[in-house]
A and B are shown apart, each in its own frame.
Chain A
Amino acid sequence: MPDYKAPLRDIKFVMTELLNSEQHYANLEGAEDATPDMVDAIIQEGAKFCEQVLSPLNRVGDIEGCVWSQDGVKTPTGFKEAYQQYVDGGWPSMTADPNYGGQGLPSSLGLVMSEMVGTCNWSFGMYPGLSHGATNTIEEHGTEEQKQTYLTKLISGEWTGTMCLTEPHCGSDLGTLRTKAEPSADGTYAITGTKIFISAGEHDMADNIVHIVLARLPGAPEGTKGISLFIVPKCLPNEDGSAGERNAVTCGSIEHKMGIHGNATCVMNFDGAKGWLIGPENKGLNCMFTFMNVARIGTAIQGLGAAELGFQGSLTYAKDRLAMRSLSGAKNPEGIADPIIVHPDVRRMLLTQKAVAEGARALIYLTAQQADVVQRGKTPEERKAADEALGFLTPIAKAFLTEIGYEAANLGMQVYGGHGFIAEWGMEQNVRDARIGMIYEGTTGIQALDLLGRKVLMTQGESLKGFTKQVHVFCKENADNEQLKEFIEPLAAINKEWGDLTMKIGMTAMKDREEVGAAAVDYLMYSGYAVFAYLWARMAKVALDKMAEGTSEEMFYNAKVQTARFYFKRLLPRTKTHAETMLAGSASLLDMPEEAFAI
């Protein structure tokens, strides 16, 4: 397994040099603590914890997996202790509400920590990650009493949380869910039903688990408008706040799955379990949506992490492994062969991973800054604009990054040749773990519908324009910069084409209701490459400016420019295909009779 090294230099580059985090944090309400020194210290500490504590547990988690018995779920060796250290370090409370024990730091800083945790041990990271979802729900929609009871414990990390949405017959289509909530005389509800795919639904790391459950009240309207949210704790809280007797909710089994073995994916059986309504009746889905964007950025990080970990592992191997000679003459004549990093195709694989990992980091941090502004922007206008930007960028980040992150993870494995397929090297685990990213939290297909249907076309293209305008301004500002020309010209062309394509699809969609579904995934992928072009051009600019000023880190900045160049020459051309196929219309998808699929 590659030893994870937190990419601190690049994290700093993206945060401070590309996105000017110092200014950004200064502009936020209540982020006074996020001073540059503080931010630095937090990231350093987090990096140490990830490298020394979590990274070594990644293979263990995969090999041992979680073990289910009647008594509960046992997590892999070392997970429980690591979680305790995580709690002792105060990590669960980092970005939470200070009124309930949180440290009140901005979300974007929390996501840097999530990146490091998730890259070195995604299975572990999902436990606190899921708590985060429950924390957000209660923070946003809970009553004061609910906050005192549950939020404080979630924020301290003493208890963890889950989100119980999926049922055996419904995943993408939550409108058809069947779990019932019957009101009891004391104002609570009896929850009955079966939930599946509940990550971290049962484990041995914390005293209590707080489930946020989607269920239907008696007589609720059909479909998505009849769903309510409930808090259902594993153990009912005592008067003194401690975890008391067991509630009627049990983990029936855990799934045997392709990857993320260290995280328990549970079937949860609710058998008249005691629950408390959170938020208004029948508005459960709306309540969920209030923080869906942040949750999806959390999942997008899986794509970044897969690319980063694969890159770190394969770079080490490519420098060590000797095979064949360079085509332009021996580079390591004293050895029996040259290190494989001399071969162009190995470089193609490494550079693709590097371009994906660093581009992904830029996109995640950019998106996370929008989330900060939504939560803490000083004016309503700022908050509203950020909310639109966030809504636009989130499905792109989630789907595009998990797709290309998975591709990158596969390349990392490919660099190892046959050894990549062998478990002990850890590269195949990275691929298996990464695969789920494209599925959960809304599949790529669902994200694509969200982007094209709800975000772009429903706003008449306004949300896209909000972004392309920025790109346009950037291109204009740098139009005379000779060094940047190789980036600015293709970027400007893509930016224009993006708008044109959107217009064309919009026109077709007015006549053909199938058009959005037919074009969506290609549109999303195109958008991802376009956003990356903007970010890579900006990163190239920062690097070129630094080199012009004179720097002792010439090598670092030069690598940025070269990677940007690789991106523009080798990856951005993929937009050509997506542009053509997204306009292919729905007929070639829908004309095929159903029977003909089955032959």
Chain B
Amino acid sequence: MADYQAPLRDMRFVLNEVFDAPSLWASLPKIAENVDPDTADAILEEAGKITGGVLAPLNREADEQGCKWNDGEVTSPEGFKEAYQTIVEGGWNGLGGNPDFGGMGMPKTLVAQFEEMMQGANMAFGLAPMLTAGACLALDAHGSQELKEKYLPNMYSGVWSGAMDLTEPHAGTDLGIIRTKAEPNDDGSFNVTGTKIFITWGEHDLAENIIHLVLAKLPDAPKGPKGISMFLVPKFMVNDDGSLGERNSFSCGSIEKKMGIKASATCVMNFDGAKGWLVGEENKGLAAMFTMMNYERLGVGIQGIGAAEASLQNAREYANDRIQSRAPTGAQQPEKAADPILVHPDVRRMLLTMKSYVEGGRTFSTYVAQWLDISKYAEDDERRQHAEGMVALLTPVAKAFLTDRGLETTIIGQQVFGGHGFIREWGQEQLVRDCRITQIYEGTNGIQAMDLMGRKVVGSQGKFYELFAQDVATFIEENSSDAALKPYLEPLAAALERLSDVTEHVINQAGDNPNAIGAAAVDYLDMFGYTALAFMWAKSVKAAAPKAEGDTSGFYTGKLKTARFYFDRLLPKTVSLAEGIRSGSESMMALAANEI
């Protein structure tokens, strides 16, 4: 098993050479206050050290140990407590947080790189800071000044952690039907009662306090999603002087035995008249959740890339070391019993597929992060709204496409190992098991596809889609005279046209057929993702081509060759997807439930 090394070289390429992030940051005054290229670079360097040196070495053993539940208390695997302390001391927990309350105010473009490293090094661990960051976002956006002052500083520092309590045994995707109740008290607080499940890091021994954001219904609240409110429910009450008071009346009833991310506690939380405070407005809890959803969903997409990167690092090391059979064109290493398996075309196909997804995916997640930064920090209304449209459109793609490709990559990474890939000690099968949840939580990928196709594309009558299509079209036009780019621009233009045609087709169908969106959704998201990755690879070629001449490191020439592989071997998937989408919904809906 290779030691995880943060892919800093590629991250710098993406940030500086593909997107020129420093210029973006300079254009956003609130960001420019906090970061310059040198600071950003130092942060990357340190992040690489801490994720590779502290988090990654714990990953394998923690999977074997898992979390332990005992009478409401959860013990994390060996080393997690110390590692968490290191993260807290380094200030990593509040990297993207609001500086008014102790956050560091770093742009998402940069934070995304740190997240990828953390998730690639140790996903089960990485979920703890991730959940805290999500809770902080929601609190920062919707909490009262009093709540923010009381809770945010300790959450940004990581002394306290956060959890998001949405799902109930009977309600996951469909939060409109949750049953947890919140009864008002005279002092302005509420008594929260109900059972929540699948609460990631809902209970643990890493931090002094755990701040739960709980969705619940007020008495007489309207039915459905419009009757849900959000409450802050701390594990320990917080006294006025900031010290911790008595234990609140809720506890962790059990933790789940699950396929992967075993080192993170997935908790059943029983709230028994627990004291909580309303966050945001009554009955607007779901809307409040949505403000952080875009960040969280990108974060989950990034988990997919992180796992994929770790798998790629292992696979290429193995492919270089493992000797087996001879190259079809004759022995490459005649002094050995056989050639390294990297000589075999099919092994290369596997590695190049992995590399295409990982590096293309990293570029895409940074692209989306860039729109998040603009949407949050741009001072010009038009620029901000444009970015908000892009974020709305691209978020479900980032979440679903990157986790789908993430899982595919980890499965391929396992295949490169042959039988050893199935054995736990090599680590490849763990990455598959860990990555598998990313397609499910934070809205299943089917739900993401419905969000993209239904709410974003059809819902805006193609308006959001046009923003993206225009960005691609502009790139193609601006670079039309670039000879190095030409072989990529033509298939990119063809892929864009194919996607635009299909988009129009589904928008038209959706008018008369309510099932048209659901029938097309997953294939459409996939097709969108492949097209977007083609755009990313074309952008990477543009950045790499001028430097490829005389490149002895292999980095830039490698970029060009991987791009070529992507266009030759992976982009053609859009052809099949388009055909499937055009076949419509009839073949899916014709069977009665009992006929299936």
Contact = CB atoms under 8 A, between A and B. Distances in A.
Given A351-B588, A577-B575, A592-B348, A258 B198 contact: no
Given A323-B173, A348-B519, A443-B415, A581 B568 contact: yes
Measured as residues with beta carbon below 8 angstroms from the partner, the interface class of chain A is 35 or more
A591 interface: yes
B550 interface: no
A9 interface: no
Nearest to A222: B337
A449 B554 CA distance: 30
B432 A435 contact: yes
Interface in B293-333: 316, 319-320, 323-325, 328-329
B260 interface: yes
Given A577-B572, A595-B554, A589 B345 contact: yes
A421 B260 CA distance: 8
Interface residues of B, number: 101
B444 interface: yes
A570 interface: yes
Contacts of A449: 346
A344 B522 CA distance: 10
Interface in A414-469: 414, 417-418, 420-424, 428, 431-432, 435-436, 438-440, 443-445, 448-449
Nearest to A453: B328
Given A323-B172, A514-B345, A581-B568, A328 B514 contact: yes
Interface in A341-360: 341-351, 354
Contacts of B517: 327, 344
B179 to A, nearest CB: 10
Contacts of B68: none
A518 B419 contact: no
Contacts of A176: 324, 337-338
B145 interface: no
A592 B328 contact: no
Interface in A318-348: 319, 322-324, 327-328, 336-337, 339, 341-348
A566 B587 contact: yes
A145 interface: no
A429 B347 CA distance: 28
B204 interface: no
Nearest to B551: A596
A511 interface: no
A364 interface: no
Interface stretch (B44-52, B129-137, B180-188, B576-584): B576-584
Interface string B189-223: 00000000110000000000000000000000000
A410 to B, nearest CB: 8
B576 A577 contact: yes
A173 to B, nearest CB: 4
Contacts of A206: none
Interface stretch (A14-22, A27-35, A379-387, A554-562): A554-562
B423 A255 contact: yes
Contacts of B324: 170-173, 176
Contacts of A354: 596
A510 interface: no
A443 B346 CA distance: 11
Contact of A421 (B173, B259, B345, B592): B259
A521 interface: yes
A95 interface: no
A255 B425 CA distance: 9
Contact of B587 (A172, A445, A570): A570
A555 B325 CA distance: 52
B16 interface: no
Which among B350, B517, B572, B585 has the highest number of chain A CB atoms within 10 Å?
B572
Interface stretch (B148-156, B243-251, B377-385, B557-565): B557-565
B594 interface: yes
Contacts of B325: 172-173, 175
B433 interface: yes
Contacts of B568: 581, 584-585, 588
A345 B400 CA distance: 14
Nearest to A438: B415
A565 B171 CA distance: 33
Interface in B385-431: 407, 411, 414-415, 418-419, 421-425, 429
B177 A351 contact: no
A424 B423 contact: no
Interface in B330-379: 337-338, 342, 344-352, 355
B593 A319 contact: yes
B325 to A, nearest CB: 4
Contacts of B587: 351, 562, 565-566, 568-570
18 contacts: A172-B418, A173-B338, A176-B324, A257-B424, A324-B173, A344-B589, A348-B588, A351-B587, A417-B172, A517-B344, A566-B587, A576-B576, A589-B565, A591-B561, A592-B558, A596-B554, A597-B355, A599-B558
Given A436-B422, A520-B345, A592-B352, 13 more contacts: A172-B325, A257-B423, A257-B429, A342-B593, A344-B518, A418-B167, A422-B258, A423-B257, A428-B436, A439-B419, A562-B595, A588-B565, A597-B319
Give 4 nearest A-B pairs by CB, closest first: A596-B558, A344-B518, A517-B345, A569-B583
